[in-house]
Amino acid sequence: MTTEKKRLRVGVLFGGRSGEHEVSLASAASVMRALDPEKYEAVPIGISKDGRWLVGAGAQKLLPEVLKSGERVMLPADPNAAALVPLDERPGGAVRVDVVFPVLHGTFGEDGTIQGLLDLAGLPYVGAGVLASAVGMDKDMQKRLFREEGLPVVDFIATQRSEWELHPAAVLRAITKRLKYPMFVKPATLGSSVGMTKVKKEEDLPAALDLAAEYAQKILVERAIKGREIEVSILGNETPKASVPGEIVPHREFYDYTAKYLEEGTRLVIPAKLTKAQVKKFQEYAVRAFRVIDGAGMARVDFFLERRTGKIYVNEINTIPGFTSISMYPKLWEASGISYRELIDKLIELALAQHNEKQRTKYSIELPSGAAGALES
């Protein structure tokens, strides 16, 4: 007599209240297609642009409809429930999930907010925890950590939106004193190059700051590098591994949102044409960047290779890299010998291992007999 192995119910969490909502939908569709149906049962969980949590029928083909017609749910009060609670009564009660695979990009998804919520709910999840997610979302803070770690970063300066609105002249002086043109202006807490502008002359700087301020409270300005854009994928928890490096060759002047997701002109060169010494250095820097932010599960580390000097700069780390059909993260692992489906398996294994490791931590203490009364007196 054979017993059928229980399939893991994987909640693929997508959508969200961010400027990268549509990117997340594409990533979720790709992840759900890659889930092995013999091992997993996919549970699509959508977050609408207005913040409503919705659960659909579970089929990838229904993904676009989840945000329109899905049943509204919320996380449970009981951290041992491992389920989503419907807001409206229905037969069958709670929607059970064994592990969550977040493919939420940007604000309220990649910044530690969802990770903290899942921790409170006691649900295992793929990827970085609260601290690493928050740091990975803030380009200013991660660059400060990289610099402290001794990793090379491009010269930069950050300012708050409120500071720009209240004291624009002072902000402009500080930027032009620190940096020379051309420079990039971008929201410090948003990915996919949303709201980013390459500024070549002084008169264009205010408009670029205004645009970035529409998407984030903090604005990052950094020196523009004439160089190649190299990316490395990371996989692991305590012993992270680096993939072969790949190169982004945009047909636009820089790799903006349109080039990443809406056009087909951008080329991905995998593996990147580099010397063995360069490959080793990129991989070393990528692992160090992952460790310094306390990463877990996965990340993609982006670099610049300056053409004139050959110097490598760590640009940023993405703790929930894109999982679309044209995304670098899975493509780099495929070139390193790990297929898309195997990658999903490994990420889920890492999520469960990380959750088990968290369970070993004591979060409360038992007071000696009589101590509680003494504290109350």
Q: What is the predicted pLDDT for the residue at 49?
A: 81
Going from the N-terminus, what domains does the chain have, and what CATH number goes with each? 8-125 (3.40.50.20), 155-223 (3.30.1490.20), 227-358 (3.30.470.20)
204 in catalytic set? no
46 in catalytic set? no
Catalytic residue, chosen from 318, 327, 329, 336, is 318
Cα–Cα distance measured from residue 331 to residue 340, given in angstroms and rounded to the nearest whole number:
8
Strand order in the sheet with 183-187: 156-160, 218-223, 183-187, 197-199
Per-position DSSP letters for 51-71, written without gaps between them: --EEE--S-GGGHHHHHHHPE
Catalytic residue, chosen from 111, 229, 322, 329, is 322
- Provide the residue-wise pLDDT of the chain in tens; the chain has 377 residues: 445 678 999 999 998 887 777 788 888 988 998 999 999 999 888 888 888 777 765 333 335 544 444 445 455 544 555 555 444 445 455 678 999 999 998 788 889 999 999 999 899 999 999 999 999 999 999 999 999 999 999 999 999 999 999 999 999 999 999 999 999 999 998 766 779 999 999 999 999 999 999 989 999 999 999 999 999 999 999 999 999 999 999 876 655 555 554 455 678 999 999 999 999 999 999 999 999 999 999 999 999 999 999 999 999 999 999 888 778 999 999 999 999 999 999 999 999 999 999 988 888 777 776 665 655 65
pTM of the model: 0.85
Catalytic residue, chosen from 18, 27, 192, 315, is 192
- DSSP-based three-state secondary structure for 43: strand
Tokens of 294: 């306390």
Q: What is the predicted pLDDT for the residue at 143?
A: 98
Cα–Cα distance measured from residue 96 to residue 54, given in angstroms and rounded to the nearest whole number:
14
302 in catalytic set? yes
Catalytic residue, chosen from 40, 316, 327, 336, is 316
Catalytic residue, chosen from 300, 313, 327, 336, is 300
Catalytic residue, chosen from 261, 285, 313, 329, is 261
Query: Helix 113-121 and helix 130-137: axis angle, to 10°?
Result: 170
Nearest to 191 by CA among 244, 238, 257: 257
4 in catalytic set? no
Cα–Cα distance measured from residue 92 to residue 298, given in angstroms and rounded to the nearest whole number:
34
Nearest to 68 by CA among 117, 113, 15, 24: 15
Q: What is the predicted pLDDT for the residue at 23?
A: 81
192 in catalytic set? yes
Give the helix/strand (H/E) hosting 155: none
Is the Cβ–Cβ distance between 204 and 166 less than 8 Å? no
310 in catalytic set? no
Catalytic residue, chosen from 9, 15, 20, 229, is 20
Is the Cβ–Cβ distance between 308 and 171 less than 8 Å? no
